[in-house]
Amino acid sequence: MAIRAIFFDFGGVIMRTEYQSPRQRLAERFNMDYDEIDKAVFGSDSARRASIGEITEEMHWTEISKRFKQPASEMQAFRDSFFGGDVIDRALVETIRSWRGKYHIGLISNAWSGLREFITKEKLIDIFDTVIISAEVGVTKPDVKIYHIALEQANVKADEAVFVDDMLVNIEACELLGMLGVEFRDPQDGLKQLNRILSLK
């Protein structure tokens, strides 16, 4: 079966934490290590609830401000520091853009309610034919429901689709449905794997 759709994760693939120092400095400010502050922001109950749309992203950050005893006026600086090492891979974006028209290009992301606004502001939303954000659909990877939603919106069968994600558990889940998966470790290797799949199909 020919590949008709390519789906991408966002965080960890299109945008990655290339520089750990801003987050590391923020952690040290609160007498934490890097993993602790990472877990406090991404692994909290409010983060989980924001990821499935039970609360907004702003409500999640309000909970974070309480956790770190920060006034609301300081939270933008906190967020800027936390994400200060995150970089959008513009070269990868242009490669994806070059596939528009030949393949259905989709996004499948575990993310809070602010992602759509962010990718619109960064002029990234136009590279996608469909955008599936967990906070908007109420389910997160690796739950297979989110892949069903993506396939239905793209109007493709599982064996006509490939998914690129940086987490093996998410790749294994999509493969259970019959999709092909590419575990994204670095851009060069990820694109090599993806091009190999596309050339064989």
136-195 residue pLDDT tens: 999 999 999 999 999 999 999 999 999 999 999 999 999 999 999 999 999 999 999 999
The SS3 call for residue 128 is coil
Q: 71: which 2 tokens?
A: 């006034």
Place 201 in a pLDDT band, splitting at 50, 70 and 90: low
* pLDDT given for residue 116 in this prediction: 98
Share of the chain above pLDDT 90, in %: 96
How large is the C-alpha radius of gyration of the chain? 17
* pLDDT given for residue 32 in this prediction: 96
pLDDT tens, residue by residue, 10-25: 999 999 999 999 999 9
The SS3 call for residue 111 is coil
Instruction: Return d(Cα 41, Cα 26) in angstroms, integer.
Output: 12
Q: Name the amino acid, one letter, at 98.
A: S
For domain 5-16+87-200, the question of CATH label 3.40.50.1000 is answered with yes
The answer on pLDDT for 200 being more than 90 is no
The answer on pLDDT for 99 being more than 70 is yes
For the chain, the domains span 5-16+87-200, 19-82
pTM over 0.85: yes
Please state, in angstroms and as integers, the Cα–Cα distance from residue 106 to each residue in 5, 32, 109, following that order. Answer: 7, 37, 10
